[in-house]
Amino acid sequence: MILRRLLVAASVAAVLAGPASVEPAAATDEAATVNEANISVAEFDEFVTALPAAGLTDFAINEASSTVGGDPGRAALSLLVTNEAQRQFASQLGLPELTDDDRAAAMAQTPEDHPLRQNPVAFGAIADDAAYRARLDSLEAPDVESLEAQYEESPASLGAYCATALTVADVDDAEAIIDDYGDQGDGSWEGIAATAGASVSDWQCTPLSSVTDPNLLASLAEAGPGEAVGPVRTADGYTVLVVDEFATAAPKLESLFERLADGGATSVGFMLFQGFLLDSDITINPRYGRWDPITISVVPLST
């Protein structure tokens, strides 16, 4: 699957990227850092160079400038970053290290005569990603009660948000709710909602991967239990989200895990991994771009 994602990214780049390219950094620089684990420029250069040698010609190096197209280069670095993050996440869960059998199983659909199989650098990184993704999709939902301490410290670290929605027609009223809520300081929203004439909805827990507003995602990533986030424009008006306390969130988390296990848009494992990513310190050498937590990829600095 990652092979297809890389090729799609490269094809899009051929249409949109124009002359943009990923330039080489100084030898002493790091290409990226994931929770203090470094991905060196040499490691990145070796991988980028290996891709066209492995038959992925959309990643061809421009001989005149010694650069790779901007979007393909960022796609390649994204793969290395997520591989390191997935390795750390698996270690945190106490899972064993990947084996050659894991990699072989994950890459079983790649033809035996594909040049990729003859290139250990390219094959190794792509196989690692595929094997980690398979692990994520096979993870069972944890016992919700065991997540209380983690939720209390950072609800978003579970990769989901659980909230009560207070909705009003006017944005000024919504902002006043947030101001009053902050001034009140005791975590009670019932009186504020009544005073503002807000409609109240008990929202189900939802994967953060469904949040497309970067400002909202950033706010939810930082919000603790009982904190207010927003306002957010919705079909019904302007909504303030009050992040649930764990006692309220627990049964809704249980319901979310069940929905995902029954074939939701994402898996429980990937949702938890996104929570790990949001709780991680990921930095990208600005020569290559910046990390975007919504798309889980390296994107241009300008976006």
> pLDDT digit string (tens) for 265-291?
789 999 999 999 988 999 999 999 999
- Across the chain, which distance is largest between two alpha carbons, in Å? 70
Return the pLDDT at 125.
94
Residue 147 is assigned to a structural domain of this protein: no
DSSP H stretches of helix in the chain:
2-16, 41-53, 70-92, 100-106, 120-138, 148-153, 171-184, 190-196, 214-222, 246-261, 268-278
Q: Which helix (H) or strand (E) holds 167?
A: strand 163-168
Give the count of domains, the chain: 2
Residue 186 is assigned to a structural domain of this protein: yes
Residue 145 is assigned to a structural domain of this protein: no
Domain edge (last residue) among 214, 233, 250: 250
Return the pLDDT at 230.
87
Residue 197, domain CATH: 3.10.50
Q: Are residues 161 and 134 in the same domain?
A: no
pLDDT level of residue 69 (50, 70, 90 thresholds):
low
Residue 215 neighbours by CB under 8 Å, 6+ apart: none
Q: What tens digit of pLDDT does each residue of 191-219 get?
A: 778 877 888 888 999 999 888 888 898 89
Q: Are residues 10 and 67 in the same domain?
A: yes
pLDDT level of residue 14 (50, 70, 90 thresholds):
very low
Return the pLDDT at 42.
93
Structural domain boundaries, residue 166:
153-250
CA 34/CA 281 separation, integer angstroms: 6
Here the tokens at position 242 are 């009050």
Residue 255 is assigned to a structural domain of this protein: no
Q: Are residues 128 and 160 in the same domain?
A: no
Residue 196 is assigned to a structural domain of this protein: yes
Domain edge (last residue) among 235, 250, 265: 250
C-alpha neighbours within 13 Å on the C-beta side of residue 114:
18
Q: Are residues 134 and 283 in the same domain?
A: yes
**Angle formed by the axes of helices 120-138 and 70-92, to 10°?**
50
Q: Are residues 131 and 234 in the same domain?
A: no
Domain edge (last residue) among 212, 234, 250: 250
C-alpha neighbours within 13 Å on the C-beta side of residue 22:
30
Residue 257 is assigned to a structural domain of this protein: no
Residue 267 is assigned to a structural domain of this protein: no
Q: Are residues 26 and 128 in the same domain?
A: yes
Q: Strand, coil or helix: what is 303?
A: coil
Q: Are residues 9 and 115 in the same domain?
A: yes
Q: Are residues 68 and 91 in the same domain?
A: yes
Q: Are residues 239 and 289 in the same domain?
A: no
Q: Are residues 62 and 99 in the same domain?
A: yes
Distances (CA, A) of 4 to 261, 263, 281: 25, 22, 28
Q: Strand, coil or helix: what is 51?
A: helix
Backbone torsions φ then ψ of 240, nearest 5 degrees: -105, 130
Q: Are residues 200 and 291 in the same domain?
A: no
CA 236/CA 110 separation, integer angstroms: 48
List 199's β-bridge partners, or say none: 167
Q: Are residues 81 and 164 in the same domain?
A: no
CA 47/CA 120 separation, integer angstroms: 10
Residue 18 is assigned to a structural domain of this protein: yes
Task: Enter the pTM of the model.
Answer: 0.81
Mean pLDDT of 60-71: 65
